[in-house]
Amino acid sequence: MKNALYSEAISQFQKLLADAKASGDPDATAMTLSTASPDGRVSARTVLLKDVTTEGFAFYTNTESRKGRQLALNQQCALLFLWKSLLNQVQVKIEGEAVPVTVAEADAYFASRPYISQIGAWASLQSETLESRALLEERVEHYRQEYAEGAVPRPPHWSGYRVHPSLIEFWYGEQYRLHRRDRFEIEDGDWTRRLLYP
Q: Is residue 129 part of a domain?
A: no
For residues 68 and 57, the answer to whether their CB atoms sit within 8 Å is no
pLDDT for the residue 175:
86
Spatial distance between the Cα atoms of 108 and 113, rounded to a whole number of angstroms: 9
Q: Is residue 159 part of a domain?
A: yes
Q: Is residue 138 part of a domain?
A: no
Q: pTM for this structure?
A: 0.93
pLDDT for the residue 8:
97
**What is the chain's mean pLDDT, rounded?**
96
For residues 15 and 190, the answer to whether their CB atoms sit within 8 Å is no
> What tens digit of pLDDT does each residue of 4-22 get?
999 999 999 999 999 999 9
> What tens digit of pLDDT does each residue of 108-123 get?
999 999 999 999 999 9
Q: Which domain holds residue 12?
A: 4-113+154-196
Spatial distance between the Cα atoms of 193 and 3, rounded to a whole number of angstroms: 11
Could you tell me the CA-to-CA distances from 28 to 48, 50, 174 in Å, in that order? 9, 11, 21
CATH code at 72?
Answer: 2.30.110.10
> What tens digit of pLDDT does each residue of 152-196 get?
999 999 999 999 999 999 999 988 889 999 999 999 999 999 999
Q: Which of 120, 156, 157, 152 is nearest to 139 (CA)?
A: 120
Give the pLDDT band of residue 2 (cuts 50, 70, 90): confident
Could you tell me the CA-to-CA distances from 192 to 31, 180, 184, 188 in Å, in that order? 24, 17, 6, 9
Q: Is the pLDDT of residue 1 over 80?
A: no
Q: Is residue 95 part of a domain?
A: yes
pLDDT for the residue 18:
97
Q: Is residue 25 part of a domain?
A: yes
Q: Is residue 142 part of a domain?
A: no
Q: Is residue 145 part of a domain?
A: no
* Number of compact structural domains in the chain: 1
Q: Which of 180, 123, 130, 186 is nearest to 155 (CA)?
A: 123
User: Which residue type does 176 have?
Assistant: Y
The helix or strand, by DSSP H or E, that contains position 96, with its residue range, turns out to be: strand 90-100
> What tens digit of pLDDT does each residue of 43-99 get?
999 999 999 999 999 999 999 999 999 999 999 999 999 999 898 899 999 999 999
pLDDT for the residue 95:
98
Q: Is residue 146 part of a domain?
A: no
> Which residues, 6+ apart, have CB-to-CB distance to 158 below 8 Å?
60, 61, 62, 63, 106, 110, 121
Spatial distance between the Cα atoms of 180 and 198, rounded to a whole number of angstroms: 6
DSSP label of 175: G
